[in-house]
């Protein structure tokens, strides 16, 4: 028992007080750039020392700067022509220059703005894009291209389920590896935690098959839980890529076999052209990160170093955001769209919890006369996230923002369209996790037939949705309004 200032403290209480002080200092130093998160954690740890400390250890500590420095170092090494594990990466970066566009020379103010925001991620010409909707369209095309692979297959997914769809993918991957194709698979250890044991094991087929889990869960390092790799990517022979929001599980495919409430609607894109090289370099960085202890023994196939060639007329800017890539790249892209929009800003996202600042940005865009439309799921698979999102609806509707609720199934689609001229698509949600924490993979597009395809896709999404009105919103029960308000308090960490 200790006596401090007349107060009697036992050892457990003193330890708790010291831990609380350490946590408060850590919050102040590590989250000074994000006042909303800092304020949330300061309040929680101060008012609920025990539960707050546990919550902060599990969900608040991210080691963001450590991971950022580690990924940035790997990217610098990839530009080093002497790096033994990827000696051609520097050459690939140089060869992409001939496709590079920039905002100088009379290009649009929009491109100049994006060039300044993302100076290390140039827009590349010469690409062909094809939009694919849901697993019923995506999976057959992916499997077909995988079966035709001659050199290498690179597969990355947040979720790779051990169900009929996942098993079919793994079957094809093993078949191609047995045929001499170099196969590398990377999944997120949280998104695929139920199935990692089923898939992982030593490298097989004389090193032609490798399966890695990103940032494995460690009870002695709970902060690893927060920084998740949310990217979805397939690259075949360095010439074909698939990127978007589609995970690999049966719910994306069984439109007729399961109840509609369990069916997941999503969007994906097949890409050919120079952007594939950028996407493949993103995969290489992530794969090397997961193998950093022995990365100098990693060997990539010649298919990873294919000289990029033009395949179409689309302009694409690949944007891998997250620690060490584009810090808050997703957030910058969403805010740039709200600031640059002159006529239309259409957004479809499954999780809408971006924080008050972006809600205000959308309201300001609507006040300028921009047609702001949000397409959100009517029924969300994360109830608490849905509650937090609905807390913003009244402000949005009263400011002129139109909200459409997708009916019939859960819409997991993620895309944005600005002025019917440009937009982006990928893995990012319009939420704090995608803005600040996750490793995400998106691409901007413009100047192609794909823009028209996306206009038609958004129109199709709206036709299948119900427009939310202030009258219907006013019918929300008081208990639900209270729950929405409580959930909104957790927006900084949702």
Find the CATH number of the domain harbouring 130. 3.30.870.10
Among the listed residues 389, 384, 422, the one whose alpha carbon sits nearest the alpha carbon of residue 403 = 389
The whole-number average pLDDT for the span 159-172 is 90
Q: Is the pLDDT of residue 35 over 50?
A: yes
Binning pLDDT at 50, 70 and 90, where does residue 432 land? confident
pLDDT, position 314: 92
The residue to which tokens 């045929």 are assigned = 179
Domain boundary among 272, 289, 321: 321
Region label for 475, one of left (φ > 0), alpha (ψ between -120 and 50) or beta (otherwise): alpha
Task: Establish if 28 belongs to a structural domain.
Answer: yes
The whole-number average pLDDT for the span 207-214 is 83
Output the six-digit token pair for 8.
Answer: 């009697």
pLDDT, position 229: 86
Binning pLDDT at 50, 70 and 90, where does residue 372 land? very high
Tens of pLDDT, residues 253-299: 765 455 555 678 899 999 999 999 999 988 988 888 777 556 666 66
pLDDT, position 379: 85
Q: Are residues 463 and 391 in the same domain?
A: yes
The whole-number average pLDDT for the span 25-45 is 70
Q: Is the pLDDT of residue 146 over 90?
A: yes
Q: Is the pLDDT of residue 236 over 90?
A: yes
Task: Establish if 5 belongs to a structural domain.
Answer: no
Q: Are residues 343 and 432 in the same domain?
A: yes
- Top-confidence residue, 241 or 75: 241
Binning pLDDT at 50, 70 and 90, where does residue 363 land? very high
The whole-number average pLDDT for the span 26-55 is 70
Q: Is the pLDDT of residue 107 over 90?
A: no
Q: Are residues 224 and 279 in the same domain?
A: yes
CA-to-CA separations, 348 to 18, 164, 246, 416, in angstroms, rounded: 45, 28, 14, 6
- Top-confidence residue, 221 or 415: 415
Q: State how far the Cα of 47 lies from the Cα of 49, in Å rounded to an integer.
A: 6
**315: part of which helix (H) or strand (E)?**
strand 314-321
Among the listed residues 61, 60, 58, 46, the one whose alpha carbon sits nearest the alpha carbon of residue 16 = 46
Tens of pLDDT, residues 436-475: 888 899 999 987 889 999 999 999 999 989 999 999 988 8
Q: Are residues 71 and 54 in the same domain?
A: no
Binning pLDDT at 50, 70 and 90, where does residue 239 land? very high
pLDDT, position 351: 94
pLDDT, position 224: 60
CA atoms within a 13 Å half-sphere pointing along the CA-CB vector of 168: 14
Q: Are residues 311 and 440 in the same domain?
A: no
Q: Are residues 274 and 356 in the same domain?
A: no
Region label for 134, one of left (φ > 0), alpha (ψ between -120 and 50) or beta (otherwise): left
% residues pLDDT > 90 (the chain) = 41
DSSP secondary structure letter of residue 176 = H
CA angle 183, 188, 193 (to 5 degrees): 110
Binning pLDDT at 50, 70 and 90, where does residue 407 land? confident
Binning pLDDT at 50, 70 and 90, where does residue 169 land? very high
Q: Are residues 150 and 229 in the same domain?
A: yes
Among the listed residues 76, 132, 122, the one whose alpha carbon sits nearest the alpha carbon of residue 99 = 122
Q: Are residues 384 and 276 in the same domain?
A: no
CA-to-CA separations, 367 to 26, 131, 153, 473, in angstroms, rounded: 40, 32, 48, 21
Task: Establish if 2 belongs to a structural domain.
Answer: no
The whole-number average pLDDT for the span 314-331 is 84
Instruction: Give me the number of domains the chain comprises.
Output: 3
Q: Is the pLDDT of residue 215 over 60?
A: yes
Q: Are residues 297 and 353 in the same domain?
A: no
Question: What pTM, to 2 d.p., does this model score?
Answer: 0.85
Mean pLDDT, the chain, whole residue set:
82
The whole-number average pLDDT for the span 331-348 is 95
Task: Establish if 33 belongs to a structural domain.
Answer: yes
Q: Phi and psi (nearest 5°) for 253? A: -115, -40
Q: Which residues contact 150 (CB under 8 A, 6 or more apart)?
A: 181, 237, 303
Cβ atoms of 207 and 298 within 8 Å: the answer is no
Task: Establish if 427 belongs to a structural domain.
Answer: yes
pLDDT, position 106: 42
- Strands 371-377 and 344-348 turn out to be parallel
DSSP secondary structure letter of residue 248 = B
Cβ atoms of 166 and 312 within 8 Å: the answer is no
pLDDT, position 381: 84
% residues pLDDT > 70 (the chain) = 76
Task: Establish if 1 belongs to a structural domain.
Answer: no
Q: Which residues contact 240 (CB under 8 A, 6 or more apart)?
A: 145, 270, 271, 272, 276
Tens of pLDDT, residues 379-391: 888 888 999 999 9
Q: Which structural domain, as residue segments, surrounds residue 86? A: 65-321
Q: State how far the Cα of 445 lies from the Cα of 451, in Å rounded to an integer.
A: 7
- Top-confidence residue, 414 or 80: 414
pLDDT, position 306: 79
Q: Are residues 127 and 275 in the same domain?
A: yes
- Top-confidence residue, 228 or 233: 233
Task: Establish if 4 belongs to a structural domain.
Answer: no
CB atoms within 10 A of CB 220: 5
CA 66 to chain centre: 20
């Amino acid at each position: 028992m200790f006596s401090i200032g007349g107060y009697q403290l036992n050892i457990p209480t003193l330890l708790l007080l010291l831990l609380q002080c350490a946590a408060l200092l850590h919050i102040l130093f590590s989250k000074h750039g994000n006042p909303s998160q800092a304020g949330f954690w300061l309040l929680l740890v101060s008012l609920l020392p025990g539960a707050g400390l546990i919550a902060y250890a599990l969900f608040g500590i991210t080691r963001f700067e450590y991971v950022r420095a580690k990924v940035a170092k790997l990217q610098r090494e990839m530009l080093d022509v002497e790096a033994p594990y990827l000696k051609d990466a520097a050459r690939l970066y140089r060869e992409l220059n001939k496709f590079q566009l920039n905002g100088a020379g009379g290009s649009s103010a929009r491109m100049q703005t994006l060039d300044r925001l993302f100076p290390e991620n140039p827009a590349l010409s010469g690409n062909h894009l094809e939009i694919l909707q849901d697993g019923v369209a995506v999976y057959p095309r992916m499997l077909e291209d995988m079966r035709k692979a001659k050199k290498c297959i690179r597969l990355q997914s947040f979720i790779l389920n051990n169900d009929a769809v996942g098993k079919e993918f793994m079957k094809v991957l093993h078949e191609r590896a047995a045929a001499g194709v170099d196969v590398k698979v990377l999944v997120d250890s949280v998104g695929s935690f139920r199935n990692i044991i089923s898939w992982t094991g030593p490298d097989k087929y004389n090193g032609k098959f490798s399966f890695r889990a990103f940032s494995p869960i460690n009870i002695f390092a709970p902060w690893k839980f927060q920084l998740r790799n949310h990217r979805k990517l397939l690259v075949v022979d360095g010439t074909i890529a698939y990127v978007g929001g589609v995970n690999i599980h049966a719910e994306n495919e069984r439109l007729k076999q399961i109840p509609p409430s369990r069916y997941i609607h999503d969007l994906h894109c097949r890409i050919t052209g120079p952007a594939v090289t950028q996407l493949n370099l993103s995969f290489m960085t992530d794969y090397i990160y997961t193998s950093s202890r022995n990365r100098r023994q990693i060997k990539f196939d010649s298919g990873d170093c294919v000289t990029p060639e033009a395949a179409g007329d689309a302009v694409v800017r690949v944007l891998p955001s997250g620690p060490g890539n584009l810090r808050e790249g997703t957030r910058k892209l969403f805010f740039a769209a709200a600031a640059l929009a002159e006529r239309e800003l259409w957004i479809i996202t499954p999780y809408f919890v971006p924080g008050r600042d972006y809600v205000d940005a959308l309201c300001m865009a609507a006040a300028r006369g921009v047609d702001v439309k949000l397409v959100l799921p009517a029924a969300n698979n994360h109830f608490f996230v849905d509650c937090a999102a609905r807390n913003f609806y009244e402000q949005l509707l009263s400011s002129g923002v139109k909200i459409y609720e997708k009916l019939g199934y859960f819409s997991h689609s993620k895309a944005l369209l600005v002025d019917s001229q440009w937009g982006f698509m990928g893995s990012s949600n319009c939420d704090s996790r995608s803005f600040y924490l996750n490793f995400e993979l998106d691409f901007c597009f413009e100047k192609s037939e794909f823009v028209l395809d996306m206009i038609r896709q958004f129109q199709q999404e709206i036709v299948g949705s119900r427009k939310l009105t202030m009258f219907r919103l006013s019918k929300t029960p008081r208990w639900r309004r209270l729950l929405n308000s409580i959930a909104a308090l957790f927006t900084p960490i949702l």
